Amino acid sequence: MKKKIYLLIFLLLVSACSKVKKQFYPDGKVLSEITYRGNKKEGPAKYYYHNGNVEITCTYKNDKLDGVFEKFYPDGRIQEKTNYKNGKKHGVSETFYENGSAQIYAEFQNDTLHGKYVEYYANGKPKLEAFYNHGKYDGEWNFYDNYGNLTGKAYFSKGNGKMISYYVGTTTKRLEISYQNNLRHGEELHYDLKGKLIKKITYNQGKIVKSESYD
């Protein structure tokens, strides 16, 4: 019984220290409602569009984003949903087109891309299926056009690897690019529909050092 009383007193003291501060647009409409403890943001917060709809809902801990961050379009449809921890993206982050379909699915660890990463066209078809390893390109990547046709593939290991793209509707190689540490490094080879090499660009850590064209 005593423990319950002490807990109740503690919760009352905590709530007494917290205060919701409101900000307003020039015409008096509510712009934001943010929970503070002292001079720091601590607890739930909401930001509003001028039309009164919610723009952002989130939670702060020690003045930093912590928990689920949600952003909405002016008409109320979801635009982004991202998990935060100690002010950094941590976990799943999703963004959406205005029509409600998925735009980007990404996994983060300590504000760095780590895990599955997928981009979509507005029609719902996948544009890119990829993986990251602590911010480095990793694993098998697949590229698609907006009809769902495979247009390229890549294979990476911690930022190093090669990407190959194809002419639409064929298995004919159009482009081949080498990567090192997430940057173009080495040769970028361009081919025509007959498979003939027509151009070669040489990179050094993302910078072009030589370009050659062939008849």
**pLDDT digits over 69-86, tens only?**
999 999 999 999 999 999
**Whether residue 147 sits in one domain with residue 210:** yes
Tell me the residue type at 22: K
What is the C-alpha separation between 169 and 141, in angstroms, rounded?
18
**Whether residue 142 sits in one domain with residue 103:** no
The pTM of this model reads 0.89
Helix (H) or strand (E) holding 8: helix 2-17
- Choosing from 74, 97, 124, the residue where a domain stops is 124
**Whether residue 145 sits in one domain with residue 87:** no
What is the C-alpha separation between 110 and 69, in angstroms, rounded?
15
| pLDDT of res. 214 | 93
**Whether residue 156 sits in one domain with residue 118:** no
Tell me the residue type at 68: V
What is the C-alpha separation between 181 and 202, in angstroms, rounded?
16
Q: How many domains does the chain have?
A: 2
Tell me the residue type at 83: N
Supply φ then ψ for residue 14, to 5 degrees: -65, -45
pLDDT in tens, 147-204: 999 999 999 999 999 999 999 888 899 999 999 999 999 999 999 999 999 999 999 9
**Whether residue 148 sits in one domain with residue 90:** no
**Whether residue 154 sits in one domain with residue 82:** no
Q: For residues 145 and 152, is the Cβ–Cβ distance under 8 A? A: no
Strand partners, 208: 203
**Whether residue 57 sits in one domain with residue 33:** yes
Residue 20 above 90 pLDDT? yes
| pLDDT of res. 18 | 83
* pLDDT band (50, 70, 90) for residue 4: low
What are the structure tokens assigned to 65, written together? 């984003």
What are the structure tokens assigned to 168, written together? 């639409």
* pLDDT band (50, 70, 90) for residue 215: confident
Residue 12 above 80 pLDDT? no
Selection from 46, 45, 41 nearest residue 64 by Cα: 41
As to burial, measured by CB atoms within 10 angstroms (0-12 exposed, 13-18 middle, 19+ buried), residue 135 is: middle
| pLDDT of res. 169 | 85
- Choosing from 124, 141, 173, the residue where a domain stops is 124
Parent domain of 104: 18-124
* CB atoms closer than 10 angstroms to residue 192: 13
**Whether residue 116 sits in one domain with residue 67:** yes
* pLDDT band (50, 70, 90) for residue 8: low
User: Among positive and negative, which fits the CA dihedral 70, 73, 78, 82?
Assistant: negative
Give the chain's mean pLDDT: 93
* CB atoms closer than 10 angstroms to residue 149: 13
What is the C-alpha separation between 82 and 66, in angstroms, rounded?
10
Selection from 192, 135, 186 nearest residue 162 by Cα: 186
* CB atoms closer than 10 angstroms to residue 139: 17
